[in-house]
Structure 1
Amino acid sequence: MPYRIHPAILWAALVVLLAALALARPLDHDESQYVAAAMLSAYGALPYRDYLYLQTPLQPLLFAPLALLFGGLAWPGLRIVNALLGAGAVMGAYAGMRAARVPTAIAAASAALFACCDILLFSIGTARNDALPLALFAAALPLMVRGSRGEATPLSALLAGLLLAGAAAAKVSYAVPALAYGIVALVDRRHRPLLVAAGAGPVVVLIGWLYAVAPAGFAFGVLTFPARAPAEYYLAAGKAWKLGGLAKMGDTLKFLALGPALPALLWVLRDRRRDRTRVLLDALIVAGLVAALLPAPTWRQYLAPVLPPLFARLALAWQARPPGKPARIIALVFAVAGLAPSVEAGVSALHATPMLTALRQSVAIRAALDGSGSRGPVVTLSPQFLAGTGHMPDARFAAGPFYFRSRRLLDPAQEPALHAVSRDRLGALGDPPAILVGGEGAWTSGDAGLDAMLANWARSRGYRAVAVPGGRFTLYIRPR
Structure 2
Amino acid sequence: MRVRLILPLLLVAFLALAMARPIDHDESQYVAAAVLSAKGLLPYRDYAYLQTPLQPLLMAPIAALAGAWVWPALRLVNALLGWLAVVGVYVAARRSGAGERAALIAALGLAACDILLFSAAMARNDALPAALLAGAMVAMAGRPTRGNGVLPGLLLSGAAAAKISYALPAAAVGLWMLWRRKQVGWAAVGALLPVVLVAWLCWLASADALFGVLTFPAKAPAEFYADRPWKLSLAAKAVDTLKFLALGPALLAVVAAWRGRALAGPWSWLALVGVVAALLPEPTWRQYWLPALPPLFVMAALAIERRPPNRAMRLAAIPFVVAGLAPSFVALVTGGGMIAAMWERAAIGEAIGARGTVATLSPQFVADPDPRFAAGPFAFRIRRFLSPEDEAARRIVTPRTLAAQFAARPPGAILIGGEGKWTSGTDGADAPLEAWARSNGWRRVPLASRRFRLWVP
Q: CA deviation at 1:7?
A: 2.8
2:45 pairs, out of 34, 44, 49, with 49
SS at match of 1:35: helix
Q: CA deviation at 1:266?
A: 2.2
> For 1:11-22, what aligned pairs fall within 5 Å after superposition?
11-22=7-18
Matched, 1:429 2:425: no
RMSD across aligned positions (CA)? 1.2
Q: Name the counterpart of 1:314.
A: 300
2 CA distance for matches of 1:24 and 1:342?
9
User: What percentage of residue pairs aligned between the two structures are identical?
Assistant: 53
For residue 414 of structure 2, give the secondary structure of its aligned residue in structure 1: strand
- TM (norm. structure 1) is 0.93
- Residue in structure 2 matched with residue 446 of structure 1 by the alignment: 425
Q: Which residue of 2 aligns with 1:362?
A: 345
User: Does 1:383 pair with 2:363?
Assistant: yes
Question: What corresponds to 2:161 in structure 1?
Answer: 169
SS in 2 for 1:436: strand
Structure 2: how far apart are the matches of 1:13 and 1:369?
40
Q: Is 1:89 aligned to 2:85, yes or no? A: yes
Letter of the 1:347 partner, please give it.
V
1:415 — aligned with what?
391
Structure 1 CA distance for aligned equivalents of residues 294 and 411 of structure 2: 46
Partner of 2:436: 457
Secondary structure at the residue paired with 2:397?
coil
CA distance in 1, matches of 2:255, 2:56: 37
Secondary structure in 2 matching 1:448: coil
Q: Deviations over 1:17-75 (max 9, x none)?
A: 00100111011000000000000000100000000000000000000000111111110
How much does 1:448 deviate?
2.4
Q: Distance between the aligned counterparts of 1:66 and 1:173, measured in 2?
A: 25
Gaps of 5+ in 2: none
**Are 1:92 and 1:138, in contact at CA under 8 Å, matched by a contact in 2?**
yes
Show the 5 A alignment for 1:56-455: 56-146=52-142, 151-189=143-181, 191-235=182-226, 238-272=227-261, 278-349=264-335, 353-370=336-353, 375-386=355-366, 391-427=367-403, 428-430=405-407, 431-455=410-434
> Given that residues 358 and 412 in structure 2 are in contact (C-alpha distance below 8 angstroms), is that contact kept between their aligned partners in structure 1?
yes
Give the match's secondary structure for 2:159. Answer: helix
Q: TM-score, normalised by structure 2?
A: 0.97
Partners of 1:65 and 1:19 in 2: CA distance: 20
SS of corresponding position for 1:424: coil
Q: Whole-Å Cα distance in 2 between the matches of residues 459 and 471 of structure 1?
A: 19
Instruction: State the 1:239 CA deviation.
Output: 1.1
Displacement after TM superposition at 1:333 (Å): 2.3
Tell me the CA shift for residue 155 of structure 1.
1.1
Contact 1:225 1:409 (8 Å CA) reproduced: no
Could you say what secondary structure the match of 2:430 adopts?
Answer: helix
What is the SS of the residue equivalent to 1:410? coil
1:282-313 residue CA offsets vs partner (Å, 9 max, x unmatched): 11111000000000110000000111000000
Q: Secondary structure at the match of 2:428?
A: helix
TM-aligned CA deviation for residue 158 of structure 1: 0.5
In the alignment, which of 7, 12, 18 is matched to residue 3 of structure 2?
7
Which whole-Å deviations, capped at 9, do the CAs of 1:326-356 have from their partners, x for residues lacking one? Answer: 211112221111101110111111xxx1211
CA distance in 2, matches of 1:297, 1:170: 20
Report the CA distance between 1:409 and its aligned residue. 2.7
Q: Distance in 1 between matches of 2:280 and 2:338?
A: 33
Task: Give the secondary structure class of the aligned counterpart of 1:267.
Answer: helix
Aligned residues: 454
Q: Residue type of the partner of 1:287?
A: V
What are the Cα deviations for residues 162-219 of structure 1, in whole angstroms up to 9, with x where unaligned?
0000000000000011111111111101x21111111000111101100111101111
Q: Which amino acid aligns with 1:442?
A: K
- Matched residue of 1:227: which SS? helix
Give the C-alpha shift of residue 470 in structure 1. Answer: 1.8
1:435 alignment partner, SS class: strand
Deviates more, 1:241-250 or 1:26-35: 241-250
2:97 counterpart letter in structure 1 = R
Once the two structures are superposed, residues 204-238 of structure 1 have per-residue CA deviations (whole angstroms, 9 ceiling, x without a partner) of 11011001111011110011111111111011xx2
- Amino acid of the structure 2 residue aligned with 1:126: M
Structure 1 residue 6: deviation in Å? 4.8
